[in-house]
Amino acid sequence: MIAHLQRTSDTVGLLTYLYGPGERGNHTSPRLIAGDGHGAPIELLAEPDSLPYLAHALNAPVERLGVRAPERPVWICSVRSDPRRPDLTDAQWAAVARRLVAATGIAPNGDPNACRWIALRNQPRQVHVVATLAREDGSLHNAYRDAFRLQTECHRLAAELGHQPTAPHPTPRAEETPVPALSITITAEPSGSVSAKGATDDLSATLLRHAGFQQIEDWYGRRHRLPTTTPAADRVAIATHAAEMLEAARYGVDLDPALDASRTSTPVHPLGPYIAGAELLQLTDQIRSAEGGAALLRVVDHLLHPEHGALERIREALEAAGEQITDLDDEAYQLADRFDFAAEFVSSAQSQLIDWEGELRHVGNSPHPQAETQPLSPKLPDSRCAALGTSPAAARAKLSPSPDAGAAGTNTAVRAPQAPSLRTR
């Protein structure tokens, strides 16, 4: 059992084709076998002279979205069964259609806000499922992994129906016909981008996207490339990884030597694969050795830049890890939530450091009055005094004194000289 997934924007044209004779005149007895219109009488509208009204009933949630509606809101899945097996009845095909819309999330069982859909037959051993991606509550169905979920569910259905193909008899090597391998060329462009051209089949496209390439489909056809903003080291790593996966899948790969990691001489880092951690360790050393607020500002910018800083990259990585866990295993939602919470904590830490750049510019530029809790450490550097003076905890302590204020001040005075961020000049 094989599923083929497509998207379109013309619901009326699609229904007219499915209920019509077909391109080769092979459509026979088009008929509706299942569907859910959320109150719309789709059974009465599924007639050749009522197709515009049926299309309007399916598109009603999309029309309510207005400008937020996607460009191609119509989802169509065509499923074929094994021609060597007996055909299924209309009731069996209707059950197959319900399983498919539930597995993809188009219409989960018991969901009152599911997408509207219909299933119709016009040929033997085949069913067409047509749905609109707009849900009843105004949200949109995420079709990112629909193809994977469809093939998985079709495999289960074929096993349940006894339609699994039997293993073919081994072919003697003398009778094997060699199949020419598809070739792909990965080159570095003068603009700084990296392009992958050649084979345009779905397997090579999936491997290239998995490696990190962006897929572009327009009137020039299907292409894959890396953005010009990709760092040089990442370009080499992504291109090399893509070439290795394609070669393992029996593709012929012509990789630009400048993008081949095996030909580039890179020193082995003592921390092995943990290069990101080593770079953060180096950043910490630079922070500790910064002389003055200006030097410290330049180093801390690598950590706190709102778009390219290390803290923002850590937040994005934690968020992506949670999403990937959900995609790989729906049952591991608790672990995914923990990664999401960690990403939120990092975001909260970023919000505590708003306007850090303007304040850090003044660190070390002018003397600051010492806090009352500093008599035991009069030689604290100006940067430490500024940090204590602007501490939210210190400000709250001044505004809301408590009986324990004296003890808190004593603890601060004792711990201040032992702070790991102090340095001597």
> Tens digit of pLDDT for each residue in 283-328?
888 888 877 777 888 888 888 888 888 888 898 999 899 889 888 8
Q: Bridge-partner residues for 220, per DSSP?
A: none
What pLDDT is recorded for position 183? 87
Tally the residues of the chain: 425
Point out which residues pair with 31 in neighbouring strands.
121
Summarize pLDDT for 78-113 with one digit per residue, the tens.
999 988 888 999 999 999 999 999 999 999 999 999
Mean pLDDT, rounded, of the chain: 79
- CA separation for the pair 75, 9 (Å, rounded): 9
Q: State yes or no: pLDDT of 174 exceeds 70.
A: no
Rounded to an integer, the average pLDDT of 345-374 is 67
At residue 389, what is the residue type? G
Instruction: Give the mean model confidence (pLDDT) for residues 391-397.
Output: 46
Q: Which amino acid is at 308?
A: H
Model confidence at 232, pLDDT cuts 50, 70, 90, reads confident
% of the chain beyond a pLDDT of 90: 28
Higher per-residue pLDDT: 210 or 413: 210
**Region of poorest pLDDT, from 44-48, 80-84, 165-169, 359-363:** 165-169
Q: Tens digit of pLDDT for each residue in 113-132?
A: 999 999 999 999 999 999 99
CA distance 119 to 372: 77
Q: Is the pLDDT of residue 6 over 60?
A: yes
C-alpha 11 chain-centroid distance: 29
Q: Which of 16-20, 189-193, 240-244 has the lowest mean pLDDT?
A: 189-193
Reported as a pLDDT band with limits 50, 70 and 90, residue 180 is low
**Closest residue by Cα to residue 106 from 66, 139, 63, 57:** 139
Lowest mean pLDDT among 18-32, 45-59, 320-334, 410-424: 410-424
pLDDT at 36: 94
For residue 412, the model assigns a pLDDT of: 39
CB atoms within 10 A of CB 275: 12
pTM of the model as a whole: 0.42
pLDDT value for 389: 42
pLDDT for the residue 400: 47
**3 state SS of 216:** strand
Distance CA 423, CA 425 (A): 7
Structure-model confidence comparison of residues 341 and 178, the more confident one: 341
Give the contacts of 44 (CB within 8 A, at least 6 positions apart). 50
Quick count: other Cβ atoms within 10 Å of Cβ 182? Answer: 17
Both tokens of residue 252?
């012929």
Is pLDDT at 71 greater than 60 in this prediction?
yes
Name the token pair of 186.
Answer: 């990965």
DSSP conformation letters of 58-108: HHHHHHHHGGGS-SS-EEEEEEE--TTSPPPPHHHHHHHHHHHHHHHTSS-
Confidence of residue 35 (pLDDT cuts 50, 70, 90): very high
Residue 417, both tokens:
């000289």
Given this model, what pLDDT does residue 90 score? 94
Q: Cα separations (Å) of 10 from 13, 18, 140, 297? A: 5, 12, 18, 56
Q: What is the reported pLDDT for 374?
A: 45
Residue 150 corresponds to which amino acid? L
- The whole-number pLDDT of residue 370 equals 46
The sign one gets for the Cα dihedral 245, 248, 252, 255 is positive
The pLDDT tens digits of the residues spanning 189-225 come to 887 889 988 888 888 889 998 988 988 887 777 888 8
| Alpha-carbon torsion angle 277, 282, 288, 290, nearest 10 | -140
Q: Span 181-186, mean pLDDT?
A: 83
